[in-house]
Amino acid sequence: MKLKSRYNCTVNKEAISQETLKSTQLLLLGGPRMPFTGHELQHIRHYVENGGNAMIIMQEGGEQRLDTNINAFLEQVGISVNSDSVIRKHFYKYLHPKEAFIGNGILNKELVRVAKGEAKQTNAKAGKYAKRYAVNKDDLVERDENGGLKFVYPYGATLNVNRPAVPIISSGPISFPANRPVGAFYVSARRGKLFVLGSMKFFHDDFFEKEDNQKIQESIFKWLLSRDNDAEFENHIREEPEISENQHVPDITALADRLRSCLQESDDLPKDFTTLFNTNLYKFDTDLVPESIDLYKTLGIKHEPLTLIPPQFETPMPQ
């Protein structure tokens, strides 16, 4: 993985403890495949709340597929990973639907600025043209509609994000589910930082250099590791980000195997209920007897009583 060439990474194969986290600048949990103990989750929470930095990366299927319980910790800060997958509804660039190209999924302008390497913008000085310049600039930014960076989101899940956590990356309007959080962050009272992403392959070598994935990765790690306030995601939070509610849809595949006929609604009853009776459905009389007798002549049959046909019985005899 190309991240190992840029950072000093150490793999921890022991249980997570406070002693281990004391010397850690960033705790990276990439797709945990085993349940955490209650003490480990408490240590991680204590580490973040006391100024530590952590990043948790999941994949499609969430906890059910990875057989872990990381949501028990994430729900304490307002985040949870869903057991679903993001797909692109229309083909563009990537053949597999789960390799979703997203061009309008950035919910934080600071992420765009840091990814592009732009300098911080100071407030415009009061003057003759300051107000006019600021209004025109905001108008251009609003037309971008969550753009600024394009990325591919491969084989990833969506997130549920509530305060105090903040969504920062969404699935965009073209993907399904549409406009759902796929990346979120949390900042504790002691400046501890937590970033959650729903796709492990987002940083995989096959997709790391595709689109702006590498720029987004560098911006996230810069926010997590730097202490000089070069990246301040928490100071550029939208009051109402463009996020859609999580809507459940029926399992079409399962329903197709269990077809059910629909019931037709009954008609309104007439005021005169006697019209509901049909007296012509059954009749017993001799109206058809003359026509039946004429059939003897038509078919060339003698009009006489039927004779008895003596039966012939064949009894097998032993030879």
pLDDT at position 106 is: 92
Residues of the chain with confidence (pLDDT) below 70: 1-6, 122-147, 319
DSSP element (H, E) containing 28:
strand 27-30
So where are the chain's domains?
Answer: 2-246
Is 1.10.8 the CATH number for 2-246?
no
CA distance 284 to 185: 86
What number of other Cβ atoms are within 10 A of residue 73's Cβ? 21
CA distance 108 to 134: 19
pLDDT at position 141 is: 36
pLDDT at position 144 is: 52
CA distance 153 to 200: 9
Max distance between CA atoms of the chain, in angstroms, equals 132
pLDDT at position 139 is: 41
Q: Residue 177, preceding bond cis, omega within 30 degrees?
A: yes
CA distance 152 to 113: 19
